[in-house]
Structure 1
Amino acid sequence: MKRLSVILISFLLYLPLSAQFKGTVYIDTDQSGIFNKGDKPLAGVMVTDGLNVVKTDKKGRFSLPGFEKTRFITITTPAGYETEQFYLSAKENRKSYDFVLTESERTKSKEHSFVQITDTEVTGGMGRWVTDLQQYIKNEKPAFLIHTGDICYEPGLTMHNQVVNAQTMDCPVYYCIGNHDLVKGKYGEELYESLYGPTWYSFDVGNIHYVVTPIDHGDNPTDYTLKDVYNWLKNDLALMKEGQALILFNHDLFTASDTFVFKADNEHMLDLRAFNTKAQIYGHMHYNYVRNQNGIYTICTGTLDKGGIDHSPSSFRDIKVDADDNISTELRYAFIEPQIAIVSPMDSQITTSSVAASTGEKQLPVSVNTYHSQAKTSHVSYILSDAENKQEIAKGNLTSLTDWNWNGNIQIPANENGKRLHLTVTSFFNDGKKATATSQFTYQKDFKLSTIPGKDWNTLLQNAAHSGGVNDSQVKLPLQLQWTANTGSNIFMTSPIIAGQKVFIATTDDNVSLNTFICAFDFNSGKLLWKFPTANSVKNTIAYENGIVIAQDAACNLYALDADSGKLFWKQYINLDSYPYLTEGVTVDKGIAYAGIGAGLSAYDLKTGQTIWTNKDWKQREGATTTLTVAGNVLVSGTQWGGLYGNDIRTGKQLWKLSDNGLGNRGASPVYKDGKLWIISSKSFFTIEPQTGKVLQQKELSANLDVTSTPLVTEQEVIFGTADRGVFALDKSTLFSKWKAETSPSLVYTAPYSSTPQAGVETSPVASQGVVYIGASDGYLYAIDQATGIIKEKYNLGAPVFSTVAVSGNRMIVCDFAGNVYCFSSK
């Protein structure tokens, strides 16, 4: 009898607990936004109390017991439906937790898209990017928008969802919690929960089960634990429908390991591969980076409102899911008004033809850079006519080669030789807007320029000391475009190499396509000679010596290629002993290649790939953009938010570190000249003794100098780019300001935390015959008088330039972000 009483009491105690949270999920048939008698219950909807997960019955009802940390009752919004409120606070003590859904075509289709933004870190206002995002969503109609965390701090948290929400964006909007969203309170997520709801939840669109989980660390302690998240996640994933695929969101990456396990502790782990996982999408790092982790894509997106920590372009991401649950991605750049530039044939120049490989006919190559932040480019058309009698010669459409570039060839009748021709190109965008550009040029089918031979240009600024900014080249104004070619993907901070009558360049693709290469072009004709596919983006400097091209990709692979054939001589994996990501540039000197950063910084025998030494004294920090510099017996490198380091070039032993006075907040590399290092950092210019690291001079300036521009040191000037004020020149002897050359506001912002309307110049200046040549983020190539700073010429390329020019003889190679390689000659 006593035993029966215990059982009965236990049963009675369980009953109210099991029915603590009840409710119904309805279809809002009359679209009133509230529950009415005509609304229909919906079966099979997942509902959770933060731990337990159940599905609604045939009458749309659910019952949940709750647990000690239940703060919300949350539904997994099913595919084909939307709701204005997918969670209800458990603190409200409702008698019934009812959810009203409306039918939705955009969340029903297996083929759909969504937009990711992240790390907006709002503190002083939202900015123009909100309008660009809002209009892009209006024009491209994604199924939803998600913000993957760092909203940020109390001001951002209270402001952000007032501006970016389902009503203002006209699509469902979801949020993740980031490390800077854990603010002071009873517990770190308290304020976030009061404004944004649960920190873990799921929703379905098409055949994809989307899961949001919270970051496991931050500025203040959390009330939740990884075990809490694990317990819920296990229950949530157990109720996935048969055949569904999984995509995960978190502010940070779950794991750098290809095993792809969610781990609470050694006893509580979930193998995410068992759930048909397609991708994990995150932010946190302030850079753009995609890895294929053995079939699962890990996708990091930078910041759309400002430049990234590693100088990644300001961007958001459009992600598409096809009918087979495969994903594709496209980075989108904010702040760009509808714009277009004809880069070949250039205005007021002489243009020659190419020969069609299939027919042998003469063709006029046409290349156009065009972009609009608020809508994709639907098509680009052209009309070619005689400039004098206005008679139409040809018209048609161009083909998209990269996210910025459209290309094509026009058949030219023989009787047009020697005439002035007029080209009109129009870009049409998905929002109905268009942009038009014209070019008037002289067509000569057999036009040839005289060439003056010059020295090889082996790396950034010609040599391992980066002292070739002043050289003996014969490049003079005016410039004539000799040829242009496109690599098929973006060119970032990689600068071109000129060696053995070839031009070498490497490309970047921060999408799942990973369309990345090291390319070789004929220096005289621009003909593609070979293309070597890399595993990931090559984001920075490559180098050449003795017939070997060396490059490292973002996924930490180091390649040595035969310069003549593109054949791989050897390959090494650079073990950083931390997250595998590299944006630094390599250097080669006297048969030794220097690559990597931090614990991966190493010296390699150029011919064999054998490791000579590895740095053991300092570690990598944030993503850096340093290109290694050889300064006598010292190898100079550094990390963003870390420091500038000098290592013994023979042993790898650390000799010194500088991090004070702004030297730890730096993207630039030094030039070694006149026995000193010359470098910009934060807001100052420095000269440094390379053997000891002693700072010899520091000059604070009224500009943001956190750019990748290595100074040009002449007999009279020190010249460099800035993040916000164009190009600066200091008097070499006094360090007083000598001149400033103002560029236009950047098309894309790359310097950390730089944003509209700042005028950024990330590239290094190169001087020839008293003229400084430098590309800018506004899409122009500038020719500036070295002594006065007067802009003598500028050439509109229509896409940002992050790559420093290379010169040899009377020719100059220029690369833009659209993937174009240009060869200019002196007329």
Structure 2
Amino acid sequence: MKKLSVILLSLILCLPLCAQFKGTVYIDSNQSGILDKSDKPLMGVMVTDGLNVVKTDKKGRFSLPGFAKTRFITITTPAGFETQQFYLPTQENRKTYDFLLTESERTQSKEHSFIQITDTEATGGLGRWVTDLKNYINSEKPAFLIHTGDICYEPGLQMHNRIVNSQTMNCPVYYCIGNHDLVKGNYGEELYESIYGPTWYSFDIGNIHYVVTPIDHGDNPTDYTLKDVYNWLKNDLSSMKKGQALIIFNHDLFTPNDTLVFKADNQHVLDFCPFNAKAQIYGHMHYNYVRNQNGIYTICTGTLDKGGIDHSPSSFRDIKVDANDNITTQLRYAFVAPQTTIVFPMKQQKVGTNTDGQLSISVNAYNSQAKTQQISYILTTPESNEEVVRGTLTPLTDWNWTANISIPSDKNGKELKLTVTSSFNDGKKATDSCSFIYENGFKPSIIPGENWNTLLQNAAHTGGINHSNLHLPLQLAWTANAGSNIFMTSPLIADGQVFTATTDDNVSLNTYICAFDLNSGNPVWKYRTENSIKNTIAYEDGIIVAQDAACHLYAIDAKTGQLLWKQRINLDSYPYLTEGLTTDNGVVYAGIGVGLSAYDLKTGRILWTNKDWRQREGSTTTLTIADGVLISGTQWGGLYGNDIHTGKQLWKLSDNGLGNRGASPVYKDGKLWIISSKSLFTIDPKTGTVLQQKDLSINLDATSTPLVTENEIIFGTVERGVMALDKSTLFNKWKAETLPSLVYTAPYSTTPQAGVETSPVASQGTVFIGASDGYLYAIDQSTGIIKEKLNLGAPIFSTVAVSGNCMIVCDYSGNVHCFTLAQFLPPYAL
């Protein structure tokens, strides 16, 4: 009897611990928002105390024991339902934790989409992007919006949720905690929890189980540990329904190696593959990047309110899940008002047919607040307004649409008018028109000169002043499209061909090194790379070399497009490269940090590897060779000089704003010339001695390499377009202000920008430079007067290439444009 009494007493003592938190999950049948008698219990809903995970019974009831760090009772909102509050804070005297769900079609379907934003860092308030985002959600109707962390510090945490929440965005909104969201308090996540709730939780939509996890480090210590998250995560995933797929959110990438796992310590490692994981989606790095890690996509998105650390365009991400649980993604660029631009044919010019005997039409169109639904065209004769032909265009990239049309023979030699209208999903339209002279068989004369082998022609980047005979007025000879975006890859001109490379920061990874015929623009070959090529490629001795974002180095036969050799660049950290390479005298210089190496151009054999300094965040440096020294740099690290023969570090500069510049130097007159922070610097390349620093009190964190002439130093800026200094005095000589940028690229610059990321090139006294407003500018070299500007309708981040009487310009839509000397001046004015 005594033994039985002890057992009964033990059971009584254990009972509160086994059922410390109880409650019921109901369906709000009449959608009153208040629990009443008509509401029905819901079976099978996952509920957690932060460690243990249970499912509600037939009466919708659950009970949880809790654990030492239980601060919330949280439900996994099931597919087909939404809730005003998926978590309830634990309270000492609270007897029941009841949840109310409403039925929802947008969370029911297997086919659905969602929006990711990240790293808004709302320390100075929220900007125009909020309107773009809200209107995009209203137009495209995603199932939910998620913010993957770095709301930033106490003011941002207090403000952000008041502006970006389920009511203001008109869809469910979820948040992750980032490293800058761990602020002072009893523990780092205390303030975050008081506003946003639990730092780890899950929810279901369609057939996807979505899991939100917290970052493991930050500005202040956390109360949770990776072991806490691991223990809950293991229980949560084991409660998934049979056949479900998994998508995980965190502010940072779990593991940079090829296998994606959650690692608490060496004994507690959780492999996501058995749970049919599709993706881990994160931010933190301030860049756009997608990798396939052993069958699981890891997807990093940059910032939508400012440029990325690597100058990634301001963007958010639209992610679509299909009926088979496969995902596709699309970056969406903030701040672009509805716009349409006819790129080819160009206004007031004579235009011929392509090699198929048809007229090519190329149109760039975009609207941040809605997808482009359709672009239609109509071709007429201006004098009689007679309709010649009408139809619709086909999309090639996220900005560019195209069509090839047949023109009746009786219109040969006649003036024609093309009108295009873009229709967007929000009901808005944008129209553009142009008049031109159509002449069957017309082909502008293209006479190439010297090869353009890399950024600004050579490894010293002195091609900004060259021996071409290009001058105004310009004729657009042809426009071709590479099939995906072109970022900071400067085109090359060599052996009668044009070479460029593309970037695609979506899971499709349509990334290529491309060759086009210089005379016609016809594609010659395409080589598909494993990831985006974001920066400078190079040509030497019949070989194209390029490095992609996932650290693959390629050598391609320039005539055939065949791979000659390939190397893997080992960074010993995040495998991400956004820098540009170069070649010189049979040697390829590629990589960054401990991956910075010299390779034999013909064989790919490694000649040396840097051992003296490491990579930091992604930078936009293109390697420069100056008097036996290889100049490179890292963002938030420094500017480095390494011996080109041995790889030994000779010097490092990181003070006075040289630690976080985006530009590359030019080697001219025995000195390096570079812009950084708010200053122009000249540097001795042998010793790293700063010879001059000119403070200009303007944001110069652009990727523009200065053009050094006899009398001027000319470069792009973040805020004020193009700027020139007097070479002898370094006083301001002129400014040529561009229009506001279509998208932002400069890191941490959220104010309206008139940005120029490209480098100037001068020919016959005219400076040619592309800008982030989508215009190609022709500027008088001496006075700064803008002689001409041509609207290409998409940002230009790629420096132009010039040879003979032709110039190649690439825009972000993937268009490659060939300009030459105008041979026809129309006798009419539009």
Same fold judged by TM-score > 0.5?
A: yes
Instruction: Give runs of aligned pairs for residues 592-603 of structure 1, distance below 5 A.
Output: 592-603=587-598
- RMSD over aligned Cα atoms: 0.8
Matched, 1:186 2:186: yes
* 3-state SS of paired residue (2:358): strand
Q: Deviations over 1:318-355 (max 9, x none)?
A: 00000000000000000110001000001111111114
The equivalent residue for 2:828 is: none
The equivalent residue for 1:514 is: 509
The equivalent residue for 2:487 is: 492
* 3-state SS of paired residue (1:738): strand
Q: Is the 8 A contact 2:549 2:578 kept in 1?
A: yes
Alignment-mate amino acid for residue 7 of structure 1: I
Equivalent residue for 1:797, pick from 761, 784, 792 = 792
Alignment-mate amino acid for residue 815 of structure 1: C
Distance 1:627 1:728 in 2: 21
C-alpha displacement of 1:269: 1.5
* 3-state SS of paired residue (2:462): coil
Q: Structure 1: 5+ residue runs without aligned partners?
A: 357-361
C-alpha displacement of 1:452: 3.3
* 3-state SS of paired residue (2:14): helix
Distance 1:448 1:236 in 2: 65
Alignment-mate amino acid for residue 532 of structure 2: S
Distance 1:579 1:93 in 2: 48
Equivalent residue for 1:591, pick from 586, 594, 606 = 586
Q: Deviations over 1:598-644 (max 9, x none)?
A: 00000000000000000000000110000000001100000011100
Distance 1:781 1:290 in 2: 30
* 3-state SS of paired residue (1:354): coil
Instruction: Give runs of aligned pairs for residues 246-265 of structure 1, distance below 5 A.
Output: 246-265=246-265
Distance 1:757 1:230 in 2: 43
Distance 2:648 2:2 in 1: 77
* 3-state SS of paired residue (1:78): coil
Q: Deviations over 1:198-237 (max 9, x none)?
A: 0000000000000000000000000000000011001101
The equivalent residue for 1:130 is: 130
C-alpha displacement of 1:91: 2.6
Distance 2:353 2:751 in 1: 40
The equivalent residue for 1:690 is: 685
The equivalent residue for 1:710 is: 705
Q: Deviations over 1:352-397 (max 9, x none)?
A: 11143xxxxx211000000000000000000001122110000000
Alignment-mate amino acid for residue 461 of structure 1: L
The equivalent residue for 1:142 is: 142
Alignment-mate amino acid for residue 285 of structure 1: M
Q: 1:386 to 1:756 in 2, by over 3 A?
A: farther
The equivalent residue for 1:280 is: 280
The equivalent residue for 2:813 is: 818
C-alpha displacement of 1:110: 0.2
The equivalent residue for 1:174 is: 174
The equivalent residue for 2:90 is: 90
Instruction: Give runs of aligned pairs for residues 343-354 of structure 1, distance below 5 A.
Output: 343-354=343-354
Q: Is the 8 A contact 2:260 2:294 kept in 1?
A: no
Q: Is the 8 A contact 2:776 2:789 kept in 1?
A: yes
Alignment-mate amino acid for residue 625 of structure 1: T
The equivalent residue for 1:773 is: 768
Q: Is the 8 A contact 1:749 1:756 kept in 2?
A: no
Equivalent residue for 2:736, pick from 728, 741, 744 = 741
Matched, 1:438 2:433: yes
C-alpha displacement of 1:5: 4.2
Matched, 1:607 2:602: yes
Alignment-mate amino acid for residue 714 of structure 2: I
Distance 1:781 1:442 in 2: 22
Equivalent residue for 2:472, pick from 452, 471, 477 = 477
Distance 2:805 2:784 in 1: 22
Distance 1:400 1:452 in 2: 32
The equivalent residue for 1:64 is: 64
Distance 1:756 1:532 in 2: 39
Q: Is the 8 A contact 1:118 1:303 kept in 2?
A: yes
Number of aligned pairs? 822
TM-score (norm 2): 0.98
C-alpha displacement of 1:756: 4.4
Alignment-mate amino acid for residue 259 of structure 1: T
Q: Deviations over 1:390-436 (max 9, x none)?
A: 10000000000000000001110111111110000000000000000
Instruction: Give runs of aligned pairs for residues 91-240 of structure 1, distance below 5 A.
Output: 91=91, 93-240=93-240
* 3-state SS of paired residue (2:124): coil
Matched, 1:416 2:411: yes
* 3-state SS of paired residue (1:191): helix
The equivalent residue for 2:294 is: 294
Q: Is the 8 A contact 1:522 1:528 kept in 2?
A: yes
* 3-state SS of paired residue (1:393): strand
* 3-state SS of paired residue (2:139): helix
Q: Deviations over 1:282-316 (max 9, x none)?
A: 00000000001121000000000000000000000
Equivalent residue for 2:573, pick from 575, 578, 595 = 578
Alignment-mate amino acid for residue 157 of structure 2: L
Distance 1:315 1:437 in 2: 25
Q: Is the 8 A contact 2:497 2:516 kept in 1?
A: yes
Distance 1:5 1:282 in 2: 55
Q: Deviations over 1:775-809 (max 9, x none)?
A: 00000000000000000000000100000000000
Matched, 1:75 2:75: yes
Equivalent residue for 2:647, pick from 652, 675, 684 = 652
Q: Runs ≥4 in structure 1, deviation > 2 angstroms?
A: 1-10, 448-453
Alignment-mate amino acid for residue 120 of structure 1: T
Distance 2:600 2:681 in 1: 32
Alignment-mate amino acid for residue 576 of structure 2: Y
Q: Is the 8 A contact 2:307 2:745 kept in 1?
A: yes
C-alpha displacement of 1:185: 0.2
Q: Is the 8 A contact 1:745 1:756 kept in 2?
A: no
Q: Structure 2: 5+ residue runs without aligned partners?
A: 823-830
Q: Is the 8 A contact 2:448 2:496 kept in 1?
A: no
The equivalent residue for 2:456 is: 461
Q: Is the 8 A contact 1:746 1:756 kept in 2?
A: no
Matched, 1:539 2:539: no
C-alpha displacement of 1:447: 1.4
Equivalent residue for 2:363, pick from 355, 361, 368 = 368
TM-score (norm 1): 0.99
Identity score, percent = 78
Q: Is the 8 A contact 1:340 1:435 kept in 2?
A: yes
The equivalent residue for 2:719 is: 724
C-alpha displacement of 1:551: 0.1
C-alpha displacement of 1:8: 2.8
C-alpha displacement of 1:2: 5.4
